[in-house]
Amino acid sequence: MAPRLRSAFWPVVLLVCVVAAGARSIALGQDANWDLKNYHWYNAYALLNGRLNWDVAPAQIQTYYNPIGDLPFWWLVHTLPDMRAVAFVMAIPAALGAFFLLRTLALLFPVGRERGALVWIAAAAAIGLTGAAGQSTLGSTMNEWPSAALVMAGVWLIVRSPDSTRAQAVAAFLVGCAMGLKLTFAVFGIAFMAACAVSAWKPRRLVASFAALVGGFALFGGYWAWILWREFANPVFPYYNLVFRSPWWEPSAFFDPARGPQTLGQAILLPFYFGLKSTLVMLNHKIGDGITVVKDFDRSLPQIPAHAAELNQVWTNLIDNAVHAMNGSGTLTVRTALDGECVLVEIGDTGPGIPPENLRRVFEPFFTTKPVGEGTGLGLDISYRIVVNRHRGDLSVESRPGDTRFRVRLPTSEESDN
């Protein structure tokens, strides 16, 4: 590539990103998300008009979210005469995020040196830019893209100059800015510092990066934290009021600990352990009052390699079949245990049982004993494929009148076989 073309390449890419993101934002139409109606517009208004001491939580707890990120939209609406222009400008952070993603991919897959580099760049960009979260928040007031663009700029800097203390510090500062704009981006700050520590253990560089991270956070989040501290004696008001004890809010947690893991083991096994419980909650309307649910969970089960979402489909199919078999009355038993080198999940019901001539066919595709229109005969076939083919486990059934049990066995490690 000629030097003149090379120097103009990335500015042209940036221009294309801006035009594409702006056009997409306009095509998506009016931003009418609930958060905008509830607090994104109000919070900017309240900050600029000193309403914090007058209005009592009109947007519920979101009244106290950092409004700095909402100011650009407020200003644009009051400045630009055409709302399509507002939509276009609101998409610029997404364009910047896409631009820095492409620049990062160009470093990871250098064209001319990496075979198929253009294909990999295109595939990675398509995956990164067409997801539901990114597309649904494009040009909106959800304030995801501004922080995402800052994080992507930081990633590009650190990939471009992995051995530079200055680049790492600037990248940390940008990630800190993202955190300050939106606290949910704190996970990226933690991940960034962990990655820096693992890649090269250099204490002075880590201290400088952490200071830059805190500085970036303070730039965009410090002002609002100070206001909340001044007004409510809690810099993250009303969260963590069990710690800060602000007199303006109850000293209670926003999250019910009974709904989360109770032990370290449960936290590690979160997808597997709570997948069964969430499936029971989801099917509660089908279970009804006439069916008693017995849960016998072994809380000491080891961690296993598994696709949690796929296993949830298995639990759904097995529990739905058990509930259907009992016809509104009986006992549904869900049991987990350690069975040798496998985790055992057993779904039992007290229905009439499966006739012996049907037991051999229950896992065949399209075989069903349900009335026409109520079953496809694919539920157990799909469950079998997920357990046996995807997880190298085993799915079996034993049945007699009043006692039918489907048993799922999943290996505790990738090396163990059944």
pLDDT digits 0-9 by tens, 140-189: 999 999 999 999 999 999 999 988 899 999 999 999 999 999 999 999 99
CA–CA dist 156, 162 (Å, integer):
10
Neighbours of 68 (CB within 10 A): 19
65 φψ region: left (φ > 0), alpha (ψ -120 to 50), beta (else):
beta
Q: Do residues 255 and 292 touch, judged by C-beta distance below 8 A? A: no
The residue-averaged pLDDT of 214-218 equals 96
∠ Cα 229 258 314 (to 5°): 125
Q: Do residues 89 and 80 touch, judged by C-beta distance below 8 A? A: yes
Tokens representing residue 339 in the block:
């069975």
pLDDT of residue 363: 86
pLDDT band at 364 (very low <50, low <70, confident <90, very high): confident
Tell me the fold of 264-411. Heat Shock Protein 90 (3.30.565)
The residue-averaged pLDDT of 18-45 equals 91
> Residues, the chain, total?
418
Pairing between strand 291-296 and 330-339? parallel
pLDDT band at 31 (very low <50, low <70, confident <90, very high): confident
Is the Cα torsion angle 71, 142, 81, 23 positive or negative in sign? Answer: positive
pLDDT higher than threshold 60 for residue 272? no
pLDDT band at 347 (very low <50, low <70, confident <90, very high): very high
pLDDT band at 345 (very low <50, low <70, confident <90, very high): very high
Residue ranges, CATH 3.30.565.10, the chain? 264-411
pLDDT of residue 407: 95
> For the whole prediction, is pTM greater than 0.75?
no
Share of the chain above pLDDT 90, in %: 49
Inter-CA distances, 138 with 29, 92, 143, Å: 11, 9, 9
The residue-averaged pLDDT of 53-77 equals 90
Torsion of CA 26, 30, 35, 36, to 10 degrees: 100
